């Protein structure tokens, strides 16, 4: 059996995007791979460092969802990253094998800096604009003074003023919107060192268990490239002890949020695995649909409707009829949503029942036992690493 490591940052109760995007896949993998499923709480610390106490409760809630979805502690090792200190130890070793510029090129880091920049522009836009106005006024005064001294003609004065203003405004706009190479560094004060290094910790997570396979979506393949580079470098410099992990390409269904955009907690458009029936009914009722279909009888476009997308995700049996009747106008959105609601309820109810029967104490026990098993493997790998490095 090949070894797989996969994990999630503990962010609390999971939504159906996690269920269909990750957990369904993990459940199947348990049968054919040696699976390690990690609660990546050190990773959570990179952004939740001001409130680490919330991570514990988030861990319990998340793991209950894992168990409810069929992740089985008898078939997979379910563990907490911070309970296996070897992760941080291997992280230190790996951090010597990767350059700063390589980390700055990491797509997730670039994305994060882009978000920070957009946020900063939003909050400090006024300040930036004020600065631009002041700089423009300075330039006008400068030109006025020059004109007094040099007796420029009106035409020359106009053209000089125009050139200076263009220069100032272009500089200001460039600062506002242009992302220059290496700009990530200028946002360094907003990003902690841990966040920059998180792909190195991720490499340690995978290689500590000699993970050979990492389940990823097509767009995430670059994310494991760094792990592969680190494994190769370690093997070349010291001793060939690490496998070079391969991506296991997995097609994840697109699970839209209730507003049709990507489902995410920050957008407030999620449907939780543990959603209460009354909240679920309200969320489905309020889902957006094809804006051109206002009443029954109007022809609809299922291909752009998130309700239809969820019918597909939840495998509603009469999907073809729904599609046909939506297009013809025979089906109204209210009835279509009622069908979706009962389909979601039928799917989630058994999971919710199972979840309700799992206590915090049981989760703690599973995580303690899983972390103990993970640590046995981690210790053996670190012994090999020390042997390869030949330190004192
Ligand atoms: S009938 Fe259903 S699929 Fe068609 S637009 Fe309305 S909610 Fe969407």
- 253 C-alpha to ligand 1 centroid (Å): 19
DSSP per-residue letters across 20-31:
IIIIHHHHHHHH
Q: How many residues does the chain have?
A: 392
Least confident stretch, 138-142, 255-259, 262-266: 138-142
The answer to whether residue 260 scores a pLDDT higher than 60 is yes
Element (H, E) at 229: helix 221-237
Whether residues 251 and 381 share a domain: the answer is yes
Q: How far apart are CA 156 and CA 163, in angstroms?
A: 11
Confidence class of residue 83 from pLDDT cuts 50, 70 and 90?
A: very high
Distance of CA 250 to the CA centre of its chain: 16
| pLDDT > 90 in the chain, percent | 66
What was the pLDDT predicted at 89?
Answer: 98
Mean pLDDT value of segment 270-294:
95
For residue 305, give the ligand 1 atom closest to its CA. 8
What was the pLDDT predicted at 61?
Answer: 98
Count the domains in the chain. 3
Residue with tokens 């058994």: 350
Task: Identify the domain boundary among 141, 163, 190.
Answer: 190
Q: How far apart are CA 233 and CA 200, in angstroms?
A: 13
What was the pLDDT predicted at 125?
Answer: 65
- 265 C-alpha to ligand 1 centroid (Å): 24
The answer to whether residue 180 scores a pLDDT higher than 70 is no
What was the pLDDT predicted at 192?
Answer: 84
Is 305 a pocket residue for ligand 1 (Cβ < 6 Å)?
yes
**Measured between alpha carbons, how far is residue 219 from residues 119, 354, 363 in Å?**
25, 33, 32
Mean pLDDT value of segment 155-178:
74
What was the pLDDT predicted at 157?
Answer: 76
Confidence class of residue 182 from pLDDT cuts 50, 70 and 90?
A: low
289 occurs within a structural domain: yes
Element (H, E) at 214: strand 213-216
* Residue 312 or 190, more confident: 312
Name the token pair of 236: 């070349």
What does the longest C-alpha to C-alpha distance in the chain come to? Answer: 89
Closest CA to 108 of 3, 202, 196, 169: 196
Is 168 a pocket residue for ligand 1 (Cβ < 6 Å)?
no
Closest CA to 164 of 369, 126, 156, 44: 156
Q: How far apart are CA 392 and CA 389, in angstroms?
A: 9
pLDDT tens for 346-383 read 999 999 999 999 999 999 999 999 999 999 999 999 99
Is 224 a pocket residue for ligand 1 (Cβ < 6 Å)?
no
Mean pLDDT value of segment 5-29:
95
Whether residues 184 and 200 share a domain: the answer is no
What 16-19 contacts at long range (C-beta under 8 Å, 24+ apart), as own/partner pairs, is 16/255, 16/263, 16/270, 16/271, 16/272, 16/273, 16/313, 16/344, 16/348, 17/255, 17/257, 17/262, 17/263, 17/264, 17/270, 18/65, 18/273, 19/65, 19/69, 19/273, 19/351
- 315 C-alpha to ligand 1 centroid (Å): 16
Whether residues 73 and 177 share a domain: the answer is no
Whether residues 12 and 85 share a domain: the answer is yes
Mean pLDDT value of segment 313-336:
95
pLDDT tens for 107-147 read 878 777 777 777 766 666 667 677 777 878 887 877 777 76
Task: Identify the domain boundary among 171, 190, 209.
Answer: 190
Confidence class of residue 26 from pLDDT cuts 50, 70 and 90?
A: very high
Distance of CA 137 to the CA centre of its chain: 44
Mean pLDDT value of segment 269-273:
96
Confidence class of residue 159 from pLDDT cuts 50, 70 and 90?
A: confident
Q: In what order do the strands lie in the sheet with 34-39?
A: 76-80, 34-39, 3-8, 213-216, 246-249
294 occurs within a structural domain: yes
- 310 C-alpha to ligand 1 centroid (Å): 11
Write out the residue range of the structural domain in which residue 318 sits. 275-356
Question: What's 322's domain CATH number?
Answer: 1.10.240.10
pLDDT tens for 188-245 read 677 888 888 999 999 999 999 999 999 987 777 877 999 999 999 999 999 999 999 9
Name the token pair of 70: 């069929």
Q: How far apart are CA 201 and CA 91, in angstroms?
A: 5
What was the pLDDT predicted at 293?
Answer: 93
Task: Identify the domain boundary among 148, 173, 190.
Answer: 190
């Amino acid at each position: 059996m090949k070894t797989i490591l996969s994990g999630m940052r503990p962010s609390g109760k999971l939504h159906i995007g996690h269920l269909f995007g990750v957990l369904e896949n993990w459940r199947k993998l348990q049968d054919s791979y040696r699976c390690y499923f990690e609660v990546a709480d050190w990773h959570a610390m990179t952004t939740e460092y001001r409130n680490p106490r919330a991570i514990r409760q988030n861990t319990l809630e998340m793991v209950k969802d894992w168990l409810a979805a069929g992740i089985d502690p008898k078939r997979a090792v379910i563990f907490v990253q911070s309970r296996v200190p070897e992760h941080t130890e291997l992280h230190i070793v790996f951090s010597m094998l990767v350059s700063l510029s390589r980390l700055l090129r990491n797509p997730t880091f670039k994305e994060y800096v882009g978000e920070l920049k957009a946020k900063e522009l939003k909050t400090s836009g006024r300040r930036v604009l004020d600065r631009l106005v002041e700089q423009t006024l300075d330039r006008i005064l400068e030109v006025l003074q020059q004109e007094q001294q040099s007796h420029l003609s009106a035409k020359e004065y106009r053209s000089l003023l125009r050139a200076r203003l263009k220069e100032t405004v272009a500089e200001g706009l460039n600062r506002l919107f242009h992302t220059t190479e290496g700009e990530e560094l200028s946002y360094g004060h907003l990003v902690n060192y841990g966040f920059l290094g998180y792909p190195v910790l991720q490499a340690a997570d995978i290689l500590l268990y000699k993970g050979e396979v990492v389940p990823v979506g097509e767009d995430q393949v670059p994310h494991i490239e760094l792990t592969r580079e680190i494994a190769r470098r370690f093997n070349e410099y010291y001793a060939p002890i690490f496998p070079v992990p391969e991506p296991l390409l997995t097609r994840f269904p697109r699970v839209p949020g209730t507003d049709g955009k990507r489902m995410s907690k920050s957008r407030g458009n999620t449907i939780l695995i543990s959603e209460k029936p009354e909240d679920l009914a309200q969320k489905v009722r309020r889902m957006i649909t094809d804006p051109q279909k206002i009443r029954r009888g109007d022809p609809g476009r299922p291909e752009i409707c998130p309700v239809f997308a969820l019918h597909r995700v939840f495998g509603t049996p009469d999907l073809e009829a729904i599609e046909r009747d939506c297009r013809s106008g025979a089906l109204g959105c209210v009835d279509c949503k009622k069908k979706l609601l009962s389909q979601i309820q039928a799917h989630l109810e058994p999971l919710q029942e199972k979840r309700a029967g799992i206590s915090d104490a049981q989760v703690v026990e599973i995580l303690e036992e899983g972390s103990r098993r993970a640590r046995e493997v981690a210790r053996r790998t670190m012994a090999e690493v020390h042997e390869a490095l030949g330190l004192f």
